[in-house]
Amino acid sequence: MPSPVFVYQLASQKAAGTLFNTYTTAKSVLNVADLLPIPGNYLQVGSKLRIKAWGGLSNIVTTPGTVTFQVNMGSIAVWSSGAIQMTTTANTLSPFRLETTIRLDSSGSGTAAKFIGEGFLSALNLTIGSGANPTVTDTAIVVPVAAPAVGTGFDSTISNILDFFVGFSISNSGNGVQLYDYTVEQLN
Question: Which residues constitute the domain of residue 70?
Answer: 8-186
Cα–Cα distance for residue pair 80/129, rounded to 1 Å: 17
At 114-169, the pLDDT tens digits run 999 999 999 876 765 444 444 445 578 889 988 999 999 999 999 999 999 999 99
* pLDDT digit string, tens, across residues 43-63: 999 999 999 999 999 999 888
How many domains does the chain divide into? 1
Please check whether residue 64 lies inside any domain of the structure.
yes
Say if 2 falls within a structural domain. no
Task: Return all residues near 49 (Cβ < 8 A) that are at least 6 apart.
Answer: 10, 101, 102, 162, 184, 185, 186, 187
Domain membership flag for residue 135: yes
- SS3 call for 155: coil
Measured distance CA(150)–CA(119) in Å, rounded: 14
φ, ψ of residue 42 in degrees (nearest 5): -70, -45
Does residue 3 sit within a domain?
A: no
User: Could you tell me the pTM of the whole model?
Assistant: 0.91
Whether residue 36 is contained in a domain is answered as yes
Distance, CA of 67 to CA of 84 (rounded, Å):
5
Position 28 scores a pLDDT of 97
What is the pLDDT at residue 88?
Answer: 82
User: Is 79 inside any structural domain?
Assistant: yes
> How many other β-carbons are positioned within 10 Å of the β-carbon of residue 113?
26
